[in-house]
Amino acid sequence: MSPETPPDDLVARAAAILRSGGLVAFPTETVYGLGADAWNPRALALVYRVKRRPAEHPLIVHVAGGSALDELAREIPEQARRLAARFWPGPLTLVLARHPRVPLEVTGGQETIAVRVPAHPLALSLLRAFGGPIAAPSANRFGAVSPTTAAHVRDDLGEDVELVLDGGSCDVGLESTIVDLTAGRPRVLRLGGLSEEALSEALGEPVLSGKSADVRVPGNLSSHYAPAAELSLVQASELEAKVREANRTGARVSVLVPEGVTVPEGVSAKVLAADPGGYAHELYASLRELDRAGAELVLAVPPAALGVGRAVLDRLERAAAPRPTQRSR
Ligand code: TXA
Ligand code: MG
């Protein structure tokens, strides 16, 4: 479609594609999503196929407002209402008990459902035009870095997605924070765009974090969110020594650092904002850039582990984790 097509027409076309069981990629404030009609099992099957995602990994359902919770969840605890009122639209996903009519394809066969209201005007326009819940994982192939621009989506999914709504680059740049409200005390299943501090403050008690035995969260696979290059986390104080060591291996080395950290001479560098929010915003696009430039080893210095900085550290740690396909590199 030509760049001059008015946004309302594009949104109407996107809604029509969803109604006919097709897929549409759309921007949210966190990352781009690959959307399908959440009530249509065949459309949902297509999402899994295009993403190459294992069928038991559940999808997040996107809605236009908190009132949609009643048709998706069997039980809505007071804490869910409070968090929804406080943080929606925004980078927070709530896990609740699934309403019996929600297709099991959405929930990966689980009895729980993940829901959020995205804070992006195009996402909200699409949700209103479509008039129902949209199931959407991040619009990348399974295991890769999430897309934060429309061009990233095209690079990843090409013609497998009929329409990509272009809403510019995503403000937050990291996925939503996922909170499980089905097991008593609220528990953070995935760190993301909303900090644990903000959640605890809103709930009036500290949220739990870390794994609980029976919840499957593929974003929690240790090797998820990885660029093609090997990634190693380093502290600013050891950067120079690590670069020297890495150079001896003959690998093409790049560094990823927050502004203010001294970059050793002669190494290619990607300098991100010093504040954790700015670093998060640029992180995924930068990892893609380093891949395109042919980096084989990225030495990454994280931002301060405050607020969203904790989520950044989480993603960098996962990107640095050993990967099943990396043995030969
Ligand atoms: O910011 C985001 O959350 C983005 C945008 C597009 O909204 N979406 C996203 O989707 O990151 P995806 O599919 O890449 O990651 C969804 C995560 C997975 O880790 C999945 O396991 C978890 O949500 N999830 C979905 N349903 C769940 C459930 N019922 N219980 C526990 N985790 C669930
Ligand atoms: Mg994802």
Q: How far, rounded to the nearest angstrom, does the alpha carbon of residue 204 sit from its chain's CA centroid?
A: 27
Task: List the Cα angle 290/293/299 in 5-degree steps.
Answer: 35
Q: What is the pLDDT of residue 263?
A: 96
Dihedral, 299, 301, 307, 311 alpha carbons, nearest 10 = 10
Question: Which pLDDT band holds residue 178 (cuts at 50, 70, 90)?
Answer: very high
Q: What is the pLDDT of residue 326?
A: 45
Q: Give the separation between CA 329 and CA 311, rounded to whole angstroms.
A: 27
Say if residues 242 and 256 touch (Cβ distance below 8 Å).
no
**200: Cβ–Cβ under 8 A, 6 or more apart, which residues?**
206, 207
Q: Whose CA is nearest to atom 15 of ligand 1?
A: 137
Q: Whose CA is nearest to atom 20 of ligand 1?
A: 217
Whether the pLDDT of residue 325 is over 90: the answer is: no
Q: Is 149 in the pocket of ligand 1 (CB under 6 A)?
A: no
Among the ranges given (2-16, 59-73, 209-223), the one the predictor scored with the smallest mean pLDDT: 209-223
Q: For residue 153, what is the enclosing H or E element?
A: helix 150-157
pLDDT per position as a tens digit, 106-163? 999 999 999 999 999 999 999 999 999 999 999 999 878 999 999 999 999 999 999 9
Q: What is the pLDDT of residue 327?
A: 39
Q: What is the pLDDT of residue 143?
A: 79
Q: Is 219 in the pocket of ligand 1 (CB under 6 A)?
A: yes
pLDDT per position as a tens digit, 203-252? 999 999 876 545 555 555 666 788 999 999 999 999 999 999 999 999 99
User: What is the DSSP secondary structure assignment for residue 191, as one 8-state letter?
Assistant: -
Q: Give the separation between CA 56 and CA 179, rounded to whole angstroms.
A: 19
Residue 105 in tokens? 């394809």
Atom of ligand 1 nearest to the CA of 30: 1
Q: Give the separation between CA 141 and CA 208, rounded to whole angstroms.
A: 30
Q: Give the separation between CA 92 and CA 30, rounded to whole angstroms.
A: 10
Whether the pLDDT of residue 5 is over 80: the answer is: no
Q: What is the pLDDT of residue 88?
A: 98
Whether the pLDDT of residue 66 is over 90: the answer is: yes
Tell me the mean pLDDT in the region 179-191.
95
Mean pLDDT of the chain: 93
Q: For residue 297, what is the enclosing H or E element?
A: strand 297-300
Q: What percent of the chain has pLDDT over 90?
A: 86
Q: Give the separation between CA 16 and CA 237, rounded to whole angstroms.
A: 54
Q: What is the pLDDT of residue 6?
A: 67
Question: Which pLDDT band holds residue 329 (cuts at 50, 70, 90)?
Answer: very low
Q: Give the separation between CA 226 and CA 316, rounded to whole angstroms.
A: 8
Q: Give the separation between CA 196 and CA 185, rounded to whole angstroms.
A: 14
Whether the pLDDT of residue 193 is over 50: the answer is: yes
pTM of the model: 0.95
Mutate to test the pocket of ligand 1, among 60, 153, 161, 170 (most ligand atoms within 8 A of CB): 60
Task: List the Cα angle 118/46/89 in 5-degree steps.
Answer: 5
- Closest-approaching ligand to the CA atom of 140: 2
Q: What percent of the chain has pLDDT over 70?
A: 93
> 187 phi and psi, to 5 degrees?
-130, 130
Q: Is 217 in the pocket of ligand 1 (CB under 6 A)?
A: yes
4 Cα–ligand 2 center, Å:
31
Q: What is the pLDDT of residue 76?
A: 96
Q: Give the separation between CA 32 and CA 38, rounded to whole angstroms.
A: 17
